[in-house]
Copies of this chain bind each other. A is one copy, B any other.
């Protein structure tokens, strides 16, 4: 859409033990190891998407886990590289006005799970600033 290469810039990545909310979102036990990653998608210097993902790494094939723990590979590429068949189960889609995202007070958010063999491989919350930057 922008006609520029999109970069995935990792803001933060660390392992956490699943708390009760994460356990519920991912259907894992409390205390299981979860990769918590925050990225932004940037094209030509402009940020368009902010995403937080939670991945229960114990659930993944070893080679997928290795790629997932690297900071710079988009999830779509990982699924493609391993020919994984998945579905995306959407939970929420809403406008939010409670804060600031990349300089925009309003943003659209959605949350969904990437499901493989009926297990959530990843829970994702994406946020899109609702402003004129999409007039491309």
Contacts of A15 in B (CB 8 A): none
- The stretch among A16-24, A52-60, A83-91 that forms the contact with chain B is A83-91
Given contacts A83-B118, A85-B85, 11 further A-B pairs with CB under 8 A are: A79-B87, A80-B87, A83-B87, A84-B87, A85-B86, A85-B87, A85-B115, A85-B116, A85-B117, A86-B86, A86-B87
Contacts of A83 in B (CB 8 A): 87, 118
Stoichiometry, as copies per complex, reads 2
By a beta-carbon cutoff of 8 Å, the part of chain A in contact with chain B is 79-80, 83-87, 115-118
Contacts of A118 in B (CB 8 A): 83
CA distance A83 to B90 in the complex (A): 12
- Minimum CB–CB distance from A47 to chain B (whole Å) comes to 20
Contacts of A87 in B (CB 8 A): 79-80, 83-86
Contacts of A80 in B (CB 8 A): 87
Residue with the highest number of chain B CB atoms closer than 10 Å, among A79, A87, A118: A87
